[in-house]
């Protein structure tokens, strides 16, 4: 049994035996997550199927609709098979799908049941959950877009002008290119340190409360803390996945989503996000030449 002080909120070094147990737990957790996502997709598929059946009942019968079938029974069987296949193919195909929402609502439950939040197999360390107070300032009680519109960045080089020194220090710390961090900031917040997304991601690199806590960020609206937290998380994604695009997909949609799809998920938002960053990096490289 691995005894861990859950209140420490720190990395815990494990023995080889404990590492083996942790890795096995991680494998079991990933298997449970795949089963959960499959169940969520089947649930959405069942819902869509019954919705299609209900919609068909609103369509008046037409003599021409039975053409090609020897009986109404043959038509009904074919229609049911078609609707089932259509529902299964549509289910889970975008990041706001019912399957995805069901999965996300249950994912943390599965993780808590496994007793871990993050298992880093490369370092043999577990990152434990901790309660972190995210300060809410008076300014945050009002509309960020209205109150802080002057902080929204319009010029292409403003991110570099305002945060260049922080970005360069952070890039060296995590062995990243400054250009990559700049491009992610532009894609995430357009350089607005007070940006808050509809999903609750905050600051320059749009950290969720969970990611901020995981990366040790106490004030997500502090530019240096936010950039350090976002860059550190991006470094983890680059170490975990095979290429830059997969790492960016994990940063945008979550590493679990990339694992489920075995690569970049078929989300329009994620593909657009990757294209925006890679295009900005390409422009930087061509300017440097």
- Among 264, 231, 230, which Cα is nearest to 245's? 264
Q: What is the mean pLDDT of residues 119-148?
A: 42
Per-residue pLDDT at 156: 45
pLDDT, tens digit, 9 for 90 and up, residues 11-56: 444 555 655 655 666 667 677 777 877 887 788 888 887 887 888 7
Tokens representing 61 are 């019968």
- Among 218, 245, 243, which Cα is nearest to 229's? 218
Burial class (CB in 10 A: 0-12, 13-18, 19+), 140: middle
User: Quick check: is 61 catalytic?
Assistant: no
Per-residue pLDDT at 234: 97
DSSP annotation of 101: H
Per-residue pLDDT at 266: 92
Task: Beginning with the edge strand found earlier in the chain, give each strand of the sheet holding 125-127 in spatial order.
Answer: 11-13, 125-127, 118-120
Cβ-Cβ contacts under 8 Å for 60 (sequence gap 6 or more): none
Which range has the worst mean pLDDT, 15-19, 128-132, 241-245, 248-252? 128-132
Q: Which domains does the chain have, with CATH numbers?
A: 13-127 (no CATH), 138-288 (1.10.530.10)
Which range has the worst mean pLDDT, 63-77, 130-144, 222-236, 266-280? 130-144
Which runs of E-coded beta strand occur in 25-159? 118-120, 125-127
d(C-alpha 9, C-alpha 285), whole Å: 40
Catalytic residue among 44, 111, 182, 188: 188
d(C-alpha 265, C-alpha 201), whole Å: 20
Per-residue pLDDT at 35: 82
Q: Are 188 and 206 in contact (CB under 8 A)?
A: yes
Handedness of CA 219, 122, 242, 110 (dihedral sign): negative
pLDDT at 212 over 60: yes
Query: For residue 141, is it left (φ>0), alpha (ψ between -120 and 50) or beta?
Result: alpha
DSSP annotation of 65: G
pLDDT at 198 over 60: yes
């Amino acid at each position: 049994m691995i005894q861990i002080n859950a209140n420490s909120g720190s990395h815990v070094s494990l023995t080889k035996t404990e590492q083996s147990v942790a890795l096995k737990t991680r494998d079991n957790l990933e298997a449970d997550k795949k089963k959960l996502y499959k169940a969520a997709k089947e649930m959405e598929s069942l819902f869509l199927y019954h919705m299609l059946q209900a919609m068909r009942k609103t369509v008046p019968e037409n003599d021409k609709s039975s053409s090609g079938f020897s009986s109404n029974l043959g038509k009904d069987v074919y229609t049911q098979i078609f609707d089932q296949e259509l529902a299964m193919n549509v289910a889970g195909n975008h990041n706001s799908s019912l399957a995805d929402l069901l999965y996300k609502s249950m994912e943390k439950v599965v993780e808590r049941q496994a007793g871990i939040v993050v298992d880093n197999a490369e370092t043999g360390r577990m990152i434990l959950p901790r309660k972190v107070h995210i300060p809410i300032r008076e300014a945050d009680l009002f509309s960020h877009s209205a109150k802080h519109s002057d902080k929204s960045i319009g010029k292409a080089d403003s991110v570099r002008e305002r945060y260049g020194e922080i970005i360069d220090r952070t890039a060296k710390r995590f062995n990243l290119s400054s250009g990559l961090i700049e491009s992610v900031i532009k894609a995430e917040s357009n350089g607005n340190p007070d940006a808050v997304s509809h999903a609750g991601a905050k600051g320059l690199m749009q950290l969720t409360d969970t990611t901020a806590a995981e990366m040790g960020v106490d004030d997500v609206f502090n530019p240096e803390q936010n950039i350090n937290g976002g860059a550190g998380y991006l470094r983890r994604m680059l170490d975990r996945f095979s290429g830059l695009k997969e790492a960016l997909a994990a940063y945008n949609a979550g590493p679990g989503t990339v694992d489920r799809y075995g690569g970049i998920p078929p989300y329009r938002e994620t593909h657009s996000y990757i294209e925006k960053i890679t295009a900005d990096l390409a422009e930087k490289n061509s300017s440097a030449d």
